[in-house]
Amino acid sequence: MFGPNLFHNIYSVAAVILFSVGFTALMLHRNMIKKIIGFNIMDTAVYLFLASKGYIEGRKAPIIVDNVQRVEAYINPLPAGLVLTGIVVSVSVTALMLSITIRLYNRYHTLDIDEISLRARKDTPVKNKYIKKTARKTIEEVLKEEHL
């Protein structure tokens, strides 16, 4: 079952285990914040995987100093570039998710996604000017009440 490469690729193994931890947390946790943490663990695991694959022991970043031009002296810089791009993406997604969570919390006063779904089902009808006037608060009114 375990090939001889298992210890050679120990970082990749750790990365895949972390990925599954994060994936499970994102999928199964009911708490929004824990979901976001799970998402971050998942993405960071991918960066660990890429970084471990991009690094070769004893070699250096490909910046030519002392006129060493052999390929064998350097590592491939592309995985690091991919990690940077991935970090940018995951930071923006995290920011978006956190902002949604804040809005959900302001509206339903809980972070539990199942509870939120239940409360949303009983929510006031959707605003539509073609509906005969129903008592519905605008978001400003709701926010004002919450702050008082």
Partner 1 sequence: MSFIENMVPLSIIICLAGGIVCSALKGESARRLSIAIIFANVIMNALVLFYTLYTGSEFVYVMGKFPAPWGNELRAGSLEGLIALFFAVIMLLSVVGGIRGQDDDIEKDRLNLYFVMINLMMSSLMALVYTNDLFTAYVFVEINTMTACALIMIRNNGHTLVAATKYMIMSLLGSGLLLIGISMLYTITGHLLMPNIKAQVSILMQMDEYAVPLTVVIGLMSIALAIKSALYPFHSWLPEAYGYATASSAAMLSSLISKSYIFLLIKIFYRVIGMDVMVGHKITNILFIFGIIGMIMGSVTAIRQTDIRHLIAYSSIAQIGYIYMGIGLGSTAGMVAAIFHIMSHGASKSMLFIAQRGLVEVSNGSKNFTDLKGSGIRNKLAGVAFTVGAFSMVGIPLLAGFTSKVYFAEAAITAVRSKMWIAMITLAVSTILNAIYFIRATISIYTPRNMDYRDEDYRPSRATGIALVFYIFLNFFLGVMSYPIAHTIEAGLRVFE
Residues forming the site for partner 1 (CB under 8 A): 16, 19, 22-23, 26-27, 32, 35, 39, 42-43, 45-46, 49-50, 53, 78-79, 82, 85-86, 89, 92-93, 96-97, 100-101, 103-104, 107-108, 113, 116-117, 119-120, 123-124, 126-132, 139
Dist. CA 129–CA 64, nearest whole Å: 67
Nearest residue (CB) to partner 1, 59 versus 103: 103
Cross-strand bridge partners of residue 60:
74
Nearest residue (CB) to partner 1, 24 versus 73: 24
The CB-side HSE value for 13 (13 A sphere, CA atoms) comes to 9
Residues 122/107, Cβ–Cβ less than 8 Å: no
Min CB(68)–partner 1 separation in Å: 21
Nearest residue (CB) to partner 1, 127 versus 144: 127
The CB-side HSE value for 132 (13 A sphere, CA atoms) comes to 0
